[in-house]
Amino acid sequence: MITIKQVHTKKEFKAFVKFPFSLYKDSKYWVPPIISQELKTFDKKENPVFNDADAYFFLAYKGNEIVGRVAAIINWLEVNNQNIKKMRFGWFDFIDDLEVSKALLDKVTEIGKQNNLEYTEGPVGFSNLDKVGVLTEGFDVIGTMITWYNHPYYVKHLENLNYKPEKEWIESHFPFSNINPESFSKANALIQKRYQVKAKKFTKTAEVMPYADEMFDLFNNAYASLSSFVEITDIQKAYFKKKFISFINPEYIKFVFDKDDKMIAFAIVMPSFSKVLQEINGKLFPFGFLKLLKAKKESKDVIFYLIGIDPEYQNKGITAIIFNEYYNTFKEKGIQNCIRTPELADNTAIHQIWKHFDPKIIKRRKTFRKEII
């Protein structure tokens, strides 16, 4: 018999966070989160997303053993401002037992009904900067710190429970050796001159911070047309600055400004922490933090996390400036591999940006949807 219990105490939240550590203990491809950081994500006093969202966390038990987990999320900005009556679910993990996955998703549906929502969709997080999608291809490729990994049977469970694919994301990879600077170096100079725009370089995190709010405003503007988009509020900006920017080398953050010093484009690349996160197994202390700092400096693999361009400047070749900046930085640092984070499969504009680098798709992931009846 399966018992579903809502998570309330610190001990229960820690059990919620640590369940995948046992589920994937033998996996070479799962990348553990940092336990303390995950706990802060679910802490209403720490994460300002709870100003505009409700979340309910559940553990599934078979006897005294934890066999599954799920977070049921309502983003009220999405529901009220966009009139999208979606019941979100995320952090969805379970043993290969259909009774377990059904019991967890039934609890999500129950909350959706109570709040007069129309459908459930997941796995998704609170916002566009959270992890997204259940892996459908690429189970033999190591994950990243900004994606979920799952066993292949997850998809079969969702299909058996009559969930239908809603959106698809792809992840791709290309070696640095694929980058031919001739594809953007000449255009870089021409575009800077034609549109009177310029790139700005950084060597210290403190230099980046004064521009962070403007970057998030541009992010909201650049991504507003995507079907899955929920804007980042002012109070969330401070949280994301604290959470993400310290993990990023300042030289991997590129901004482009117009003649009036207004930001018109940005890009963020992160060093890959996958191997070291597997090594420290969720713990920052006593040596995990030092190992992360070492990887930040020495990793030869990088992850293209975000690119945002003001709609007024889209299709004007601004990416040539960004790629020229990254080429010089990566060449200096001896970067070997470039990895792209999940991008919507139907976002043809973003895929066109990378065509000169001959990227190979290494993973696919989807969200699944079911109507609430």
**Per-residue pLDDT for 211 more than 90?**
yes
The amino acid at residue 31 is V
The pLDDT-based confidence of 223 (bands split at 50, 70, 90) is confident
CATH architecture of the domain 2-170 equals 3-Layer(aba) Sandwich (3.40)
Specify whether the CB–CB gap between 42 and 57 falls below 8 A: yes
User: pLDDT value at position 102?
Assistant: 98
Please tell me the predicted confidence (pLDDT) of residue 228.
65
Question: Which one has a higher pLDDT value, 231 or 120?
Answer: 120
Q: Say if CB 124 and CB 90 are below 8 A apart.
A: yes
pLDDT score recorded for residue 227: 64
Q: Is the pLDDT of residue 168 over 70?
A: yes
For the entire predicted model, the pTM comes to 0.93
Sequence-ordered alpha helix ranges (H) in the chain: 10-23, 35-41, 76, 98-114, 153-160, 185-195, 205-208, 212-223, 234-244, 274-280, 288-298, 318-333, 348-353
| Reported confidence tier of residue 256, pLDDT bands at 50, 70, 90 | very high
Backbone φ and ψ for 135, nearest 5 degrees, come out as -65, 130
Q: How far is CA 35 from the centre of its chain?
A: 17
Q: Which residue has the tokens 């200096």?
A: 332
pLDDT, tens digit (0-9, with 9 covering 90-100), for 272-306 = 999 999 999 999 999 999 999 999 999 999 999 98
Q: What is the mean pLDDT of residues 199-225?
A: 91
**244 band by pLDDT with thresholds 50, 70 and 90:** confident
Longest dimension (CA), the chain: 69
Q: Are 2-170 and 175-364 in the same CATH fold?
A: yes
Q: What angle (nearest 5°) sits at the alpha carbon of residue 87, between those of residues 82 and 91?
A: 120
As a CATH number, domain 175-364 is: 3.40.630.30
pLDDT of residue 301: 97
> From CA 92, how far away is CA 88, in angstroms rounded?
11
Q: In this predicted structure, what is the pLDDT of residue 347?
A: 84
Q: What is the mean pLDDT of residues 191-218?
A: 94
pLDDT digits (tens, 9 = 90+) for 64-103: 999 999 999 999 999 998 899 999 999 999 999 999 999 9
Which whole number is the average pLDDT over 32-45? 96
The tens digit of pLDDT for each residue in 122-132 reads 999 998 779 99
What per-residue confidence (pLDDT) applies to 352?
84
Q: pLDDT at residue 359 above 70?
A: yes
Per-domain residue ranges of the chain = 2-170, 175-364
